[in-house]
Amino acid sequence: MKLRIFATLVIAILLGACRTVSVYDVRDAAVVSNVPNISKEDVRKAITRAGTTLGWQIQDNGPNAMVGTLKLREHIAVVDIPYSARQYSIIYKSSHNLNYDGATIHSNYNGWVQNLQKGINSQLNVM
């Protein structure tokens, strides 16, 4: 009986440590800046600076898009970042070792995307 209770507790702890949540995407976030007449190139630079500062590898992916890759230990997150002078998005593309099942993902992923969003918004104000 004690062994069964112990095994149940261990399983509960392990499942709690690998908590998954719905994937957080940023869709069509407005570009807000204290810089007048901000350009698409300014937005691209803000995305690159924010991502690089947070450990993301940011690469151009055509004239209006970038791809961000974050590698932390054995985890990899990849996001598409389409942008214009008026808005940007951060959309899940792929991952490795984050328990993605088509709808949910390891809860740390959402924090990484939210930090990237905050970083981009911050960089847009220091152009």
List, in order, residues 6 or more apart from 5 with CB less than 8 Å away: none
| CA 107 from centroid of its chain's CA atoms | 11
Write out pLDDT tens, residues 31-40.
999 988 999 9
The better pLDDT of the pair 127, 26 is held by 26
Does a structural domain hold residue 14? no
Number of domains in the chain: 1
Does a structural domain hold residue 12? no
Using a 10 angstrom Cβ sphere, with 0-12 exposed, 13-18 middle and 19 or more buried, the burial of residue 37 is: exposed
The 10 Å Cβ neighbour count of residue 80 is: 16
Does a structural domain hold residue 36? yes
Can you give the length of the chain in residues? Answer: 127
> Is the pLDDT reported for residue 6 higher than 70?
no
Q: What is the CATH number of the domain that holds 90?
A: 3.30.310.80
Write out pLDDT tens, residues 76-116.
999 999 999 999 999 999 999 999 999 999 999 999 999 99
Could you tell me the two tokens for 71? 């590698």
Write out pLDDT tens, residues 65-85.
999 999 999 999 999 999 999
